[in-house]
Amino acid sequence: MNDMLTSRERFGLLVIDEQPDRCNIMPLITSHAATVKGMKLRDYYTNGENMARAQIATVEKYEHDAISIFSEVGIIAEAMGSEFEYPENDLPILRTPVLEKKDIEEIKLPSPRADGRLPVYLEAIEYAYAALGDRIPILAYIPAPFTTAMMLSDPNKFLIQTIREPSRVESIVDRSLAAAIELCYHVIDAGGLPIIVDPLASSSVVSPKTYRQYALPSERKLVDFLHRYDLDIILHICGDTSPILDLLPQTRADLISIDQVNMQQAIDKLSSRVRIIGNYDTSRLAFSTPEDIEAEVRYMVEGALHAKKGYIAATGCEVPIKAPEKNVVAFIDTVKEVGWYWV
Amino acid sequence: MIESIRKAVIEMDDEKAIELVSIALKEKTDPVDILEKGLISGMQEVATLFARKEYYVPEVLLCSEAFYAGFDIIKPLIGKSSQQSKTKVVLGVIEGDIHDIGKNIVKVMMEAGGYEVIDLGRDVPIAKFIEVVETEKPDILAISSLMTTTMVHMANIISELEQRKLRDTVKVIVGGAPVNEEFAARIKADGYSPDAPSAVKLVEKIIGG
């Protein structure tokens, strides 16, 4: 069947609890766009126009339902002083966390139009919005405060401090929250829809207790801030979130994106309260075959399509940079075949 | 006393571990017992708690600190021969990748498992892995990668080992978030493990034949 709605209309209906023509398809196609465009990674994440053009080319090729402006979760920490290296064909690598050199009190809030690669990010959003904003959501990935806090710190030390020095961790997280809010003003102004990503808060890393202590309150404050703009907010936590599924709605996020979680369990626990996004295993896109992907995606979508508050077909984590295009096509085409509501 | 040392490790108390190990030594407790029945046994319990999702990464890091606090005192006092096994493991995070928390947890659990561990650290060039296999002749080469962009280097290490005719001298095991069984098989690794406790079991299985 052919699409009847634009991607923007499709997302718009979902968030007002109406069924769109078919289910939204939003695999986390981020830096993979550089591969599609034949662009070196460094050229992608250091130049906003490049990033937007690669994203646009990718959406024209795959015809999925979102532009994804993102390179890696260090972007706010970098604008606050953490130093990154930019390999030509790899994502930025954290070299010197700012808290190894300065105290928290000395760290200034970023100016999104001037610091680090935040201007790159904002230019990418503006460019993409000007080109396609009337037809497709421009998702702008915002590293959540807990994740940014870890990128400001030596990760090993930070994790130990979550248990040993809670007041220090709280103040780093608070600072990171203020920085995220500062960025969000500009992101919204540029036409982006913020999606909050908090990979380091997952139960693959920290306990539910630690999640509840630092990550959950800061995610909620960020969601509350964004709700002032009447936006519908996605929270994405990759890795295993099974132990914290019950806590996730407390963030007040409108859509929850999951990774290594049993989909039926997530539907049982969450789907009467939030829309669910997920959760195809991304490593399969790198190493599997189109035939296997088709069978697995079909099974996933058939099981999740009628989740009470709605469902978005996606990958659990970012699509691998070098994933073969035929595998990504297999994912998207399968959802387009089985994900219909208007029949 | 040994039971309290074991508990100090499980309860993440490095100061107590130092204090108790020092007292135990003054009381002429056998250092091998302190190590095996106290520190190592404690760390094995930590591995179980981690596998059961009662402990998470921060808890394991703190337990490791307590383990090493005691281990550093005991290590000079015991000969290599008293270690449970002489199996030698070389461990490192691949070039371009600086995520080493997972590797550090594998390391402490391997040491708690009685293996001799040579830790190459993080961001390790391919040539360094090859050199160490040549000079140290380990039984196991364990490679970690946390990024899809760096995991491909694992295949390069294995083919380099083949070219230098070193492949048969060592078993290669791989791990890290983006790595899976399928990938490990594809690059012809000898094993894959999804987490630190199962990495130790994997080594036991490979060495046990």
Residues B105-142 pLDDT 10s: 899 888 888 888 999 998 899 999 999 999 999 999 99
- H/E element holding A288? none
The pLDDT, as a whole number, for residue B198 is 87
pLDDT > 90? residue A48: yes
Q: What is the pLDDT of residues A253-268, one digit of tens each?
A: 999 999 999 999 999 9
The pLDDT, as a whole number, for residue B122 is 87
Q: What is the pLDDT of residues A62-72, one digit of tens each?
A: 999 999 999 89
Read off the pLDDT of each residue in A81-99 and give the average, rounded to a whole number.
Answer: 92
Instruction: Find out whether the peptide bond into A89 is cis, omega within 30 degrees of 0.
Output: no
Provide Rg for chain A, Cα atoms. 19
- On chain B, the residues whose CB falls within 8 A of the CB of A244 are none
Shortest distance between the Cα of B148 and any Cα of chain A, in A, equals 6
Q: Categorize the per-residue pLDDT at A25 as very low, low, confident or very high, splitting at 50, 70 and 90.
A: very high
Please state, for a pLDDT cut of 90, what percent of chain A lies above it.
92
Domain A7-338 has CATH 3.20.20.210: yes
Do A322 and B183 count as a contact with CB atoms less than 8 A apart? Answer: no
CA A78/CA A71 separation, integer angstroms: 12
The pLDDT, as a whole number, for residue B157 is 94
pLDDT > 60? residue B83: no
Do A207 and B101 count as a contact with CB atoms less than 8 A apart? Answer: no
Written as six digits, the tokens of A93 are: 């690598």
- Residues contacting B116, CB < 8 A, separation 6+: B80, B83, B86, B87, B88, B89
Of B53, B55, B149, the CB nearest to A321: B149
For chain A, give the mean pLDDT: 96
Written as six digits, the tokens of A34 are: 């550089």
pLDDT > 90? residue B92: yes
Written as six digits, the tokens of A2 are: 């052919």
Q: Which residues of chain A have a Cβ shorter than 8 Å from any chain B Cβ?
A: 41, 87, 89-91, 93-95, 155-156, 159-160, 162-164, 203-207, 210, 239, 243, 283, 286-288, 320-322
Q: Categorize the per-residue pLDDT at A273 as very low, low, confident or very high, splitting at 50, 70 and 90.
A: very high
Written as six digits, the tokens of B109 are: 């659990």
The pLDDT, as a whole number, for residue A121 is 98
Q: Categorize the per-residue pLDDT at B100 as very low, low, confident or very high, splitting at 50, 70 and 90.
A: confident
DSSP β-bridge partners for residue A280: A315
pLDDT > 90? residue A227: yes
Contact predicate B70/B9, CB 8 Å: yes
Read off the pLDDT of each residue in A46-59 and give the average, rounded to a whole number.
Answer: 98
Q: Phi and psi (nearest 5°) for A106? A: -85, -10
- Strand A138-143 and strand A193-197: the pairing is parallel
Read off the pLDDT of each residue in B159-165 and give the average, rounded to a whole number.
Answer: 94
ipTM: 0.91
The pLDDT, as a whole number, for residue B80 is 55
Q: Categorize the per-residue pLDDT at B152 as very low, low, confident or very high, splitting at 50, 70 and 90.
A: confident
Q: What is the pLDDT of residues A171-203, one digit of tens each?
A: 999 999 999 999 999 999 999 999 999 999 999
CA A256/CA A266 separation, integer angstroms: 10
Shortest distance between the Cα of B66 and any Cα of chain A, in A, equals 12
The pLDDT, as a whole number, for residue B81 is 47
Of A91, A210, A287, the CB nearest to B186: A287
Read off the pLDDT of each residue in A314-318 and give the average, rounded to a whole number.
Answer: 95
CB-based burial, A286-310: b 16+ in 10 Å, e otherwise: bbbebeebbebbeebbeebbebebb
Q: Which of these, B112, B163, B179, lies nearest to B142 by C-alpha position? A: B179
Contact predicate A314/A339, CB 8 Å: no
pLDDT > 80? residue B175: yes
Read off the pLDDT of each residue in A7-15 and give the average, rounded to a whole number.
Answer: 97
- Residues contacting B159, CB < 8 A, separation 6+: none
Half-sphere exposure of A106 (CA within 13 A, CB side): 9
Please state which CATH number belongs to domain B2-80.
1.10.1240.10
Of A87, A159, A288, the CB nearest to B57: A159
Q: State the DSSP string of chain B.
A: -HHHHHHHHHTT-HHHHHHHHHHHHHTT--HHHIIIIIIIHHHHHHHHHHHTTSS-HHHHHHHHHHHHHHHHHHGGGS-GGGSS---EEEEEEBTT----HHHHHHHHHHHHTT-EEEE--SSB-HHHHHHHHHHH--SEEEEE--SHHHHHHHHHHHHHHHHTT-GGG-EEEEESTT--HHHHHHTT-SEE-SSHHHHHHHHHHHHH-
Domain parsing of chain A, residue ranges: 7-338
CA B201/CA A307 separation, integer angstroms: 40
Please state, for a pLDDT cut of 70, what percent of chain B lies above it.
95
The pLDDT, as a whole number, for residue A265 is 97
CA B55/CA A164 separation, integer angstroms: 15
The pLDDT, as a whole number, for residue B101 is 83
CB-based burial, A154-192: b 16+ in 10 Å, e otherwise: ebeebbbbbbeeeebbbebbbbbbebbbbbbebbbebbb
CA A94/CA A85 separation, integer angstroms: 7
pLDDT > 70? residue B84: no
Please state, for a pLDDT cut of 70, what percent of chain A lies above it.
100
Do B183 and A283 count as a contact with CB atoms less than 8 A apart? Answer: yes
CA A89/CA A306 separation, integer angstroms: 41
Q: What angle do CA B183, A85, B159 make, to 5 degrees?
A: 30
Read off the pLDDT of each residue in B37-51 and give the average, rounded to a whole number.
Answer: 92
- On chain A, the residues whose CB falls within 8 A of the CB of B152 are 322
What type of residue is B169?
T
Do B56 and A90 count as a contact with CB atoms less than 8 A apart? Answer: no
Q: For helices B196-208 and B41-51, what crossing angle results, to 10°?
A: 120
Q: Categorize the per-residue pLDDT at B85 as very low, low, confident or very high, splitting at 50, 70 and 90.
A: low
What type of residue is A328?
V
The pLDDT, as a whole number, for residue B180 is 84
Distances (CA, A) of A238 to A27, A106, A200, B18, B78: 13, 31, 8, 38, 44
Superfamily designation of domain B88-208: Cobalamin-binding domain (3.40.50.280)
Contact predicate B51/B197, CB 8 Å: yes
- Strand A93-96 and strand A83-85: the pairing is antiparallel
